[in-house]
Structure 1
Amino acid sequence: MKDVTAKVMRVLEANARSLGVSTLLMMENAGSAVARAVLELGAKRAAVLAGRGNKAGDGFTAARHLAAEGCSVDVYVVGGLGRYPSEAEHMLSVLRKMRCIKLAELKSREDIEKLDLSRYDVLVDAMIGTGLRGELREPFKSAVEKLNASGKPVVAVDLPTGLDPDLGKPMGACVKASVTVTMHAMKAGLIADGGKYSGRVVVANIGIPPEAWAYTGPGDVREAVPRRKPDSHKGDYGRLAVVGGSRMYHGAPILAAMAAMRTGVDLTYLIEPREAATAAKAYSPDLIALEAGGGELAWSSLEEHLSTLEKADAVVMGPGAGLSPATLEALAKLAAKLTEAGKPVVVDGDGLKALAKHEAKLSGLAVLTPHAGEFKLLSGEGPPPFSRLEERGEAARRLAKRLECTVLLKGMIDVISDGEDVRFNLTGNPGMTVGGTGDVLAGVAGAMLCFKNKPMEAAAAAAYLTGLAGDIARERLGDQLLASDVVEAIPEAVARCLS
């Protein structure tokens, strides 16, 4: 794991929940760790300043642990009590029953100005964490200034209130902590801050299993798929171009495009030879099929559609394109041209064979989706067997690093690597050996790129979601699946991840 951004942390927590580690348990562990840090500073009397989110829940939990250790604790809710996430609400409900803890509201700037912090040994910042959006506003701004002016040691929960979680920059006012107890791993913002606002950083184990990151999970999809706003317009959720198709394999680009649309992309453009385009037009009115020459793709026919490719948010290239020399040369040239221009690209099927033959130069925006045979063409050797999974992951990492792209090596256990991180995916089943499921995966990956995810994020989410859709289709139909069955199960798979 290169760094832990706010987005990565949300993925980790969601994946941990899917493994059976509840938010309540993680909050209990977090609060206990914060209490230990406060006690290590010699606190006999402490004040917790809480906000409205799960960071406040950590603070409420810490207050309970401190009281249990004999520390006198007062809890001040900045902005006043309101609606909390269910777990934080639970921790607050416990505090309400504890007569030894004073619970008070600081609803306004005036309330904060009247607050006397001189009687406390240690102050706890449990106001705003990774949910910060924009500059800090009142009454939190005044609360931060009050803490900083107190002259007392401050223990920040996860990261100091007012610090950008990813960039490490103060968003207006920012708590200057003596100690920051951050959860699970160092945050990118804390690394960038270098202790200026965060002070000494303690990383607390809150019970997130290693598998929450080593393996993909619903959290990857949850963070990758955007929620639709009421005032959305056509195109807000992406335009995907699919380049491929041939006289024999006209179904492959259709499956990729339909999978992308079932994932949530607004528009798909199929750029393919005339016969394949005619088949796509007949298959569904939802598809926009553009003819690129006659029987096979060639550079001269693709050039006519460069303007369409430019306006696409991402491109899937290769499904069903065929192996003619002119087609392979055109696909390799297109891949290099698109990635050089900064266009996110998924290269699948015959597109991978084109890369292997012509050694096209790619950029970090490309996602390659080889099966074992295609992996051998690209790397010069087949991947190690599944019984040596770590070695298989290392082989994928080496290829991704050499080609400067993200590799999604398909198989019984998918391997995803961007040349640094390596992750695995366990969803999917033997019924998905049917032809066309690789095209479905390529389309889902293209959709994830359209949603502005980084290639590694897109590949991880696509692997999990496509496999889950296959598992749902198998629940309905048994092993006798069609690739189109997997496509039709994608909306339910998305819904399960978002629930």
Structure 2
Amino acid sequence: MDSRVLDINAAYLGVPTETLMENAGKAVADECMRYRSVCIFAGRGNNGGDGLVAARILFQNGANIKLYALAGERSRLCRLNFERLPEKLDVAEIKSVEDVGPLDGFELIVDALLGTGFTGVLREPSKSIVAKINGSPALKLSVDTPTAGMVEADMVLSLHESKVIGAKVADIGIPEEAELYCGPGDVVCAIPARKKDSHKGEFGKLLVIGGAKQYIGTPTLVGQAAQRVGTDLVTLAVPQYVADKMPFDPNIMVTPLESKDFVTAESLDVLDASLFDTIVVGNGMGRAKESKEALKKILSWKKPTVIDADALNLLEFDWLHGQAILTPHKKEFEGLFGKAEGNLEKISEIAAKNASKINSTIVLKGEVDVISNGTTTRLNKSGTPFMTKGGTGDVLAGVIGGLLAQNKLCLESACAGAFLTGLAGEIASDKLGESLTATDVIASLHEAIEKCRSFAK
């Protein structure tokens, strides 16, 4: 699991990230105590912050320390711990590899340049610094994971859980609940950061397929929820009758299908699946046999797909393609897989077993949601009894689909979507109580996202 998810969830549970970094730095320092001379390379993020804490603790314990810290903008906690460094500690801020002196005299080099959050190609000066570290005869200890997988570490000290084979693991005080239960960290990490040069469509193009003569408003709820979590472009593909009668929303595009009252396989011919990143299907779709063939066709496109509501009753497992999220409540789950009785642990085992069987992610909705892809199982307890109102399940499907359109990660989107929708419901119910409606949950999604982000600061 992404260490940032754990850090933010721990903060939500009352363990500040600053405390976790102090514990991590102490664990690194403990590993270094037996060496007479230690050189620490610290990056600008929280992995670098761990290295700065270790340098401070080692210096205060009389160790011979040289610290090289990458110059530039640091994360909040990295900056805080840089400011806490003792004045007499031998520190050099480096802008290029030329700022790094000879490394031959050190017994141990600590690599705290980049952690598990790094993606992409290693750039200068880090690339040349890594090469210089690898060229040193000193022993090398990487914090959490070797930088970019390129540092030739003799030892790795992973924090909380092993990140690479053979790593030693240090307990830094992350509560078990931070990993088991979904929380604000899941939300923060599921929403991609935007750059100044981002363009329209880069953050997801979602296709919502559903609606029938009896259920006109549900596709709109899905689409509006997806937009509220950041999806750039949302298209509703609905039968002609639904397109004519549905609520107008100028933010959402509508493609009327050639069928009148319900979705059919033939009516989908007007759609070009290649134009979309992700699909949500089933909301208000009805259970006509013609719609069953439509679902089979939709899944043949092999797009990341959220399967909800009526589509769950039409589904055949051999249509699934490994990139699906199923969102059943208990009755729908039992219609698909059989009885799910017992305590939470037993139900979690049943959900995990069936998720593995169909090679998909399952969100089993309940008082405590169970979310599993067969390998990893998480729980979610956000939400409120006031969310029994019709349409809140469509909101959840839209939130999960909207996140999936942006990050293409099934389990991560399901976990984040479940927590975020429940939190938005809590915020709305605090104001409205039993007057809460599905659209109130949608309106509270922005506040819920900002509340999640507050634990990442």
In the superposition, the TM-score normalised over structure 1's length comes to 0.85
Work out which structure has the larger RCO, using CA pairs closer than 8 Å and 6 or more positions apart in sequence.
2
The answer to whether the 8 A contact 2:4-2:117 is kept is no
Match runs of 1:9-408 below 5 Å? 9-39=3-33, 42-77=34-69, 79-80=70-71, 82-97=72-87, 99=88, 101-112=89-100, 115-130=101-116, 132=118, 134-163=120-149, 170=150, 175-187=151-163, 190-191=164-165, 201-280=167-246, 282-292=247-257, 293-302=259-268, 304-307=269-272, 309-327=273-291, 329-338=292-301, 342-355=302-315, 358-381=316-339, 383-384=340-341, 388-408=343-363
The answer to whether the 8 A contact 1:333-1:360 is kept is no
Cα 1:178–1:295, aligned 2, differ >3 Å: closer, same or farther?
closer
Cα distance in structure 2, aligned partners of 1:237 and 1:137? 25
The answer to whether the 8 A contact 2:368-2:380 is kept is yes
Question: Residues 35-76 of structure 1: CA distance to partner in whole angstroms, max 9, x if unpaired?
Answer: 12112xx31232223232222221221123223443222323
Deviation at 1:135, TM superposition (A): 4.3
The answer to whether the 8 A contact 2:56-2:86 is kept is no
Cα 1:267–1:51, aligned 2, differ >3 Å: closer, same or farther?
closer
Question: Residues 264-307 of structure 1: CA distance to partner in whole angstroms, max 9, x if unpaired?
Answer: 22222222222211122x432223222221122222223x2342
The answer to whether the 8 A contact 2:191-2:406 is kept is yes
Deviation at 1:221, TM superposition (A): 1.2
Cα 1:233–1:73, aligned 2, differ >3 Å: closer, same or farther?
closer
Cα distance in structure 2, aligned partners of 1:335 and 1:102? 62
Cα distance in structure 2, aligned partners of 1:287 and 1:137? 40
Correspondence for 2:400: 445
Deviation at 1:159, TM superposition (A): 2.2
Cα 1:299–1:145, aligned 2, differ >3 Å: closer, same or farther?
closer
What's the % identity of the aligned pairs?
42
Cα distance in structure 2, aligned partners of 1:148 and 1:412? 52
Cα 1:50–1:332, aligned 2, differ >3 Å: closer, same or farther?
closer
Deviation at 1:228, TM superposition (A): 3.0
Deviation at 1:374, TM superposition (A): 0.5
- State the SS of the aligned residue for 1:316: strand
Unaligned segments of structure 1, at least 5 residues: 164-169, 192-199
Cα 1:405–1:93, aligned 2, differ >3 Å: closer, same or farther?
same
- State the SS of the aligned residue for 1:128: coil
Equivalenced residue count is 453
- State the SS of the aligned residue for 1:283: coil
Question: Residues 401-450 of structure 1: CA distance to partner in whole angstroms, max 9, x if unpaired?
Answer: 22221111111111111112111111110110001111111111111121
The answer to whether the 8 A contact 1:336-1:360 is kept is no
- State the SS of the aligned residue for 1:95: coil
The answer to whether the 8 A contact 1:398-1:419 is kept is yes
Unaligned segments of structure 2, at least 5 residues: none
The answer to whether the 8 A contact 1:263-1:444 is kept is yes
What is the identity, as a one-letter code, of the residue corresponding to 1:440? Answer: V
Cα distance in structure 1, aligned partners of 2:295 and 2:322? 16
Cα distance in structure 2, aligned partners of 1:377 and 1:139? 57
Q: Give the CA RMSD over aligned residues.
A: 2.1
The answer to whether the 8 A contact 2:210-2:281 is kept is yes
What is the identity, as a one-letter code, of the residue corresponding to 1:185? Answer: E
Cα 1:346–1:111, aligned 2, differ >3 Å: closer, same or farther?
closer
The answer to whether the 8 A contact 1:335-1:360 is kept is no
Deviation at 1:133, TM superposition (A): 5.2
Question: Residues 444-499 of structure 1: CA distance to partner in whole angstroms, max 9, x if unpaired?
Answer: 11111211331111111111111111111112211321111111111222222233
Cα 1:290–1:135, aligned 2, differ >3 Å: closer, same or farther?
closer
In the superposition, the TM-score normalised over structure 2's length comes to 0.92
| Structure 1 residue runs of 4 or more that deviate by more than 4 Å after TM superposition | 131-135
- State the SS of the aligned residue for 2:206: strand
The answer to whether the 8 A contact 1:317-1:331 is kept is no
Cα distance in structure 2, aligned partners of 1:144 and 1:270? 50
Cα distance in structure 2, aligned partners of 1:255 and 1:109? 54
- State the SS of the aligned residue for 2:203: coil
Cα 1:90–1:469, aligned 2, differ >3 Å: closer, same or farther?
same
Cα distance in structure 2, aligned partners of 1:21 and 1:125? 26
Deviation at 1:107, TM superposition (A): 4.3
Cα distance in structure 1, aligned partners of 2:332 and 2:414? 17
Deviation at 1:335, TM superposition (A): 4.3
Deviation at 1:369, TM superposition (A): 0.7
Pairing 1:463–2:395 present: no
Question: Residues 304-323 of structure 1: CA distance to partner in whole angstroms, max 9, x if unpaired?
Answer: 2342x332211111111112
Cα distance in structure 1, aligned partners of 2:233 and 2:124? 42
What is the identity, as a one-letter code, of the residue corresponding to 1:183? Answer: L
